[in-house]
């Protein structure tokens, strides 16, 4: 094994069937690694493996894993050393889902649980179960895919924001715990990346249109983000905040927290979709009657 963690690695990538996860798997294979492509959609994971086979460098195996199911994650951790020919040297907790468009109070407990099980618990348990194997490798690496949502507190995205904030806190804590060792943890915090996350998620109404437009117009490519993150982990860097807008949010939140909170509130007030959700919630408590226009704009499922 070379000294660069992403080269000739024994790697596990969750959510490897699409988007950033697929880009991680392809780039790792290009760097001569063996990759276990785990996904809840085994057909998509198998397609990633076919792409790696066609490229003719690296080795890959597709495996079913629902990261929301701790037994699946345990099985993945147990089987990885056999399938990779040794203990996992690089674990990428990437699988995640998009959710947004409703304010707290209108999200519903089922959606909260769905989002946190995948986006938070999946990465917490993935880190817990794989760290012992990473410690067995000479220079192990852990990459957790969070988001700029971890620190942006954008209105209408609470279920997503909370999960990603947890992943950021988890990664920062692990970084302190790995200090002085040869292991490195990296947390990826992008704004928009061009993938299927919005189309496949639970994003409702106007929020979906906004997410798709921003992804199309401002989204980085998954390949670029994956390469940058692997290089950062090779160098032992904790944070990858790839885009300018994510960096600006990060700085504004820390330097001017009250101004930032005011701006986020303003955004909430001018978002028509959230205004509708607020009026519907108020109606259910008898406080207000929604207008006809507002009723027309209520998305399915509210």
Choose, from 125, 160, 239, 260, the residue flagged as catalytic.
Answer: 160
Closer to ligand NAD by CB, 91 or 145: give it: 145
Identify the burial level of 145 via C-beta atoms within 10 angstroms of its C-beta, where 0-12 means exposed, 13-18 middle and 19 or more buried. Answer: buried
The residues in 63-82 that bind ligand NAD, with binding defined as CB under 6 A, are 65-68
Q: Does 127 bind ligand NAD (CB under 6 A)?
A: no
Residue from 146, 114, 145 nearest 13 by CA: 145
Which range in 10-18, 124-132, 173-181, 254-262 contacts ligand NAD by CB under 6 A?
Answer: 10-18
- DSSP assignment string, 204-242: -HHHHHHHHHHHHHHPBPHHHHHHHHHHHHHTT--EE--
What 8-state DSSP symbol labels residue 301?
T
Closer to ligand NAD by CB, 97 or 294: give it: 97
Q: Does 249 bind ligand NAD (CB under 6 A)?
A: no
Q: Does 174 bind ligand NAD (CB under 6 A)?
A: no
The residues in 186-225 that bind ligand NAD, with binding defined as CB under 6 A, are 190, 192-193, 195-197, 200, 215
Give the one residue of 6, 10, 17, 36 binding ligand NAD; rule: CB under 6 A.
17
Q: Does 166 bind ligand NAD (CB under 6 A)?
A: no
Look at the chain and count its residues. Answer: 302
At residue 185's C-alpha, the angle toward residues 182 and 191, to 5°, is 155
Give the one residue of 10, 21, 100, 178 binding ligand NAD; rule: CB under 6 A.
21
Q: Does 11 bind ligand NAD (CB under 6 A)?
A: no
Closer to ligand NAD by CB, 130 or 192: give it: 192
- The nearest distance, CB 67 to ligand NAD, in angstroms, is 4
Taking the C-alpha atoms of residue 260 and residue 265, their distance in angstroms, rounded to an integer, is 9
The residues in 28-57 that bind ligand NAD, with binding defined as CB under 6 A, are 39-41, 44
Taking the C-alpha atoms of residue 53 and residue 60, their distance in angstroms, rounded to an integer, is 8
Closer to ligand NAD by CB, 118 or 240: give it: 118
Residue from 247, 244, 265 nearest 255 by CA: 247
Q: Does 27 bind ligand NAD (CB under 6 A)?
A: no
CA distances from 162 to 151, 218, 269 (A): 9, 23, 21
Residue 260 annotated among the catalytic residues of the structure: no
Give the one residue of 58, 96, 141, 290 binding ligand NAD; rule: CB under 6 A.
96
Classify the C-alpha dihedral 5-224-238-35 as positive or negative: negative
Contact present, 70 and 122 (Cβ < 8 Å): no
Residues in touch with ligand NAD (CB under 6 A): 14-15, 17-21, 39-41, 44, 65-68, 94-97, 118, 145, 147, 190, 192-193, 195-197, 200, 215
């Amino acid at each position: 094994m070379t000294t660069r963690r992403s080269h000739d690695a024994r790697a596990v990538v969750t959510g490897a069937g699409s988007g950033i996860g697929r880009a991680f798997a392809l780039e790792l294979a290009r760097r001569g690694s063996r990759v276990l492509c785990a996904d809840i959609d085994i057909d998509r994971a198998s397609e990633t493996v076919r792409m790696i086979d066609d490229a003719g460098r690296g080795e890959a195996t597709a495996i079913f894993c629902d990261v929301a199911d701790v037994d699946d994650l345990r099985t993945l951790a147990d089987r990885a050393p056999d399938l990779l020919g040794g203990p996992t040297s690089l674990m990428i907790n990437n699988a995640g889902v998009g959710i947004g468009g409703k304010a707290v109070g209108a999200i519903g407990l089922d959606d909260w649980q769905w989002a946190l099980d995948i986006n938070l618990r999946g990465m917490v348990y993935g880190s817990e179960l794989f760290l012992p194997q990473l410690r067995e490798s000479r220079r192990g690496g852990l990459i957790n895919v969070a988001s700029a949502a971890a620190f942006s507190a954008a209105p209408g995205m609470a279920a997503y924001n909370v999960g990603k904030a947890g992943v950021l806190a988890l990664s920062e804590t692990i970084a302190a715990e790995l200090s002085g060792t040869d292991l490195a943890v990296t947390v990826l915090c992008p704004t928009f990346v061009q993938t299927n996350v919005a189309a496949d998620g639970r994003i409702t109404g106007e929020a979906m249109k906004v997410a798709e437009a921003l992804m199309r117009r401002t989204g980085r490519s998954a390949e670029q983000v994956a390469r940058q993150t692997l290089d950062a982990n090779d160098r032992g860097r904790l944070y990858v905040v790839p885009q300018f807008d994510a960096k600006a949010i990060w700085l504004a939140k820390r330097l001017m927290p009250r101004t930032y909170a005011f701006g986020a509130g303003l955004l909430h007030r001018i978002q028509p979709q959230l205004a509708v959700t607020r009026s519907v919630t108020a109606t259910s408590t008898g406080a207000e009657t929604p207008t006809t226009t507002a009723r027309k704009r209520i998305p399915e499922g509210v």
